Structure 1
Amino acid sequence: MKNYLGPMYLTLAASIWGGMYVVSKMVLAIIPPLELVWLRYLVALFTLVICGFATGQSWKLQRKDTLLISFIGLIGYFISIWAQFAGTQLSSAQMGAMITSATPAFMVLFARVLLKERITFRKGLSVLLATIGVFCIIGVGNTGNSSQLGGMILGIAALTWALMSVLVKRVPSSYSQLVVTTYAILVATIAMTPLVITQVDVVRFQQVMLQPLVWGGILYLGVVSTAGAFFFWNKGLQMVDATRAGVYFFFQPLVGTLLGYLFLGEQVGIGFWIGTLLILMGVLLIVKEPS
């Protein structure tokens, strides 16, 4: 059972992020990307700190590890998440799913360079199958009038999230991932606060904060898809090789498309089921590969 805990954590995190697109799509129509990420992190920090003290976590960090955790916060939780929201807003949800699906491939490359992990034939085949599966689900030629700028920003999101995921593997396992996640989100929140303060329209902000949809969406994004999913992703990364872990990221567009069909009335065709099968085949190859 212990061998399957890492894959379970990674699958759960990616599935939660798939559902996040349904919620964020509605909230982004009211709140700009940077403000939404900032509010999401404030809620997540409050949740993680309470959980940390309730479980008696040690908050002490070694000085040599502080810089690494700060990089994780800046690269992954600030730059990558902002780019994901901004790129999706400028282009389309399908374009966002297509470009961010390159994340596992980038993880394989970063893991080879930074962690010296070996790229086996089985790992490469699993990434290829899952990538083709994502293209089948979202439709390669069905991206609409997506902005080139949005596409470039989404590319930055995929690249930086992959780098962050590999850097997490370099954090000593003696630290609780709840503590690491909390500090990383704190760094990201501090970094984006000056930008939010200079850009926010106070009157409009006060008005939209009165809407139940906004509060409900922010609570879900902060508690479930940030505090919960970031913790599960980092915990899973502790237990699985970075090159193997990247494949589980493909559950995000799979679950997002399925929930869009169930709750938003978005249509899915035969490509969805073919893509789902290919993704599951890719994941099965990785799960069954000896560590």
Structure 2
Amino acid sequence: MTTSTMQPAARQAFLAGLFIAISGAILFSAKAIVAKLIYRYQVDAVTLIALRMLFSLPFFALVAGWRARRDAPLATADRLRIVFLGLLGYYLSSFLDFIGLQYISAGLERLILFLTPSFVLISSVFYLKKRISRVEWLALATAYSGTVLVFLHDVRTGGPDVALGSAFVLGSAISYAIYLLLSGELVRRVGAMRLVAYAMCVSSIACVAQFFLLRAPEVLIQPAAVYQLSLVNAVFCTVLPVFLTMVAVDRIGAPTTSQAGMIGPVSTLFMGAAILGEPITVYQIAGTVLVLCGIYLLSKKKT
């Protein structure tokens, strides 16, 4: 059933869910913009991610505490799985992403991260023995060609550090793809909200512990603007997108939410131009269109 054939109330509910999904995707993509603004104050990735998770932790801890009181206790094996997934999917992935953002544009970062669904598909070939259809191969080729196009353009204009930054962000996308692949069964057993809240608490603790292992405590003393941007990064680019996406999945389903997330690279491209002064080139537009077409083909195949 399309939105045009829905009853008015059902159509309004669908459009509301779609708006929530789009809002979550744009807010989550904005973390690259906020990170770039924080880097202007000579803050490194270790400090940036520690401040982000320090401000995020109270929100996720409240949700985790609420779910812990409401739900049955977890088995020890599930607790260990959540710790592992939190370290892999949120700690490692975020850390590699923010390191990479020191060297590449926000637009290229978002394009690389948007390849995560394709990495999930490729991983399923090796671990789940899944066969890739011709449509899926076409989707992969289209998406990767778009990223390569933007990457080659940025290497020519941005210097050798673009390759290093892209490698870090690629590592981030791969680690998050593995997280998604491994979390499927646990989500069904534990619940999405509970899993995300617990995993984010694990990630937050790991990021803060990493800071105190690698940096002196006085490094946390930063200009007021850094705290303000970190609070924005935590609330509007981390906590809100996580829960908005979960609400959207509940209202309109995971496939439609995934397709709505395709607005992410586009929004980052234009936010980068408007806020950071990053140029929008023909190569970036062409690469973004190719990536979006590739991921759209993948999402349609899954449905």
Tell me the TM-score normalised to structure 1 length: 0.78
Q: 1:70 to 1:7 in 2, by over 3 A?
A: farther
1:42 maps to: 54
| Residue pairs, 1:108-257, within 5 angstroms | 108-115=121-128, 117-136=130-149, 138=150, 140-143=152-155, 144-147=158-161, 149-206=164-221, 208=222, 210-211=223-224, 213-232=225-244, 240=254, 251-257=263-269
Rg comparison, structure with higher value: 2
The answer to whether the Cα contact below 8 Å between 2:115 and 2:143 also exists between their aligned partners in 1 is no
Q: Distance in 1 between matches of 2:33 and 2:201?
A: 26
Q: Distance in 2 between matches of 1:225 and 1:60?
A: 30
Secondary structure of residue in 2 paired with 1:173? helix
Q: 1:169 to 1:245 in 2, by over 3 A?
A: farther
Unaligned runs of 5+ in 1: none
1:112 CA drift (Å): 3.1
Equivalent of 1:77, from 75, 90, 101?
90
Secondary structure of residue in 2 paired with 1:25? helix
The answer to whether the Cα contact below 8 Å between 1:104 and 1:246 also exists between their aligned partners in 2 is no
Q: Distance in 2 between matches of 1:6 and 1:267?
A: 33
| Residue pairs, 1:66-105, within 5 angstroms | 66-89=79-102, 91-93=103-105, 96-97=109-110, 99-105=112-118
1:61 maps to: 74
Q: 1:167 to 1:189 in 2, by over 3 A?
A: same
Q: 1:236 to 1:16 in 2, by over 3 A?
A: same
Q: Distance in 2 between matches of 1:42 and 1:197?
A: 12
1:105 CA drift (Å): 2.7
The answer to whether the Cα contact below 8 Å between 1:181 and 1:231 also exists between their aligned partners in 2 is no
The answer to whether the Cα contact below 8 Å between 1:134 and 1:279 also exists between their aligned partners in 2 is yes
Q: 1:75 to 1:284 in 2, by over 3 A?
A: closer
Q: Distance in 2 between matches of 1:69 and 1:237?
A: 21
Counterpart residue type for residue 116 of structure 2: T
Q: Distance in 2 between matches of 1:149 and 1:280?
A: 24
1:279 CA drift (Å): 4.1
- More deviation, 93-102/167-176: 93-102
Q: 1:15 to 1:113 in 2, by over 3 A?
A: farther
Q: Distance in 1 between matches of 2:18 and 2:298?
A: 10
Identity %: 21
Give the length in aligned residue pairs.
284
1:185 CA drift (Å): 1.5
Match status 1:262 vs 2:282? no
Counterpart residue type for residue 80 of structure 2: L
The answer to whether the Cα contact below 8 Å between 2:135 and 2:297 also exists between their aligned partners in 1 is yes
Q: Distance in 2 between matches of 1:24 and 1:200?
A: 19
Q: Could you say what the CA RMSD is over the residues aligned between the two structures, in angstroms?
A: 3.7
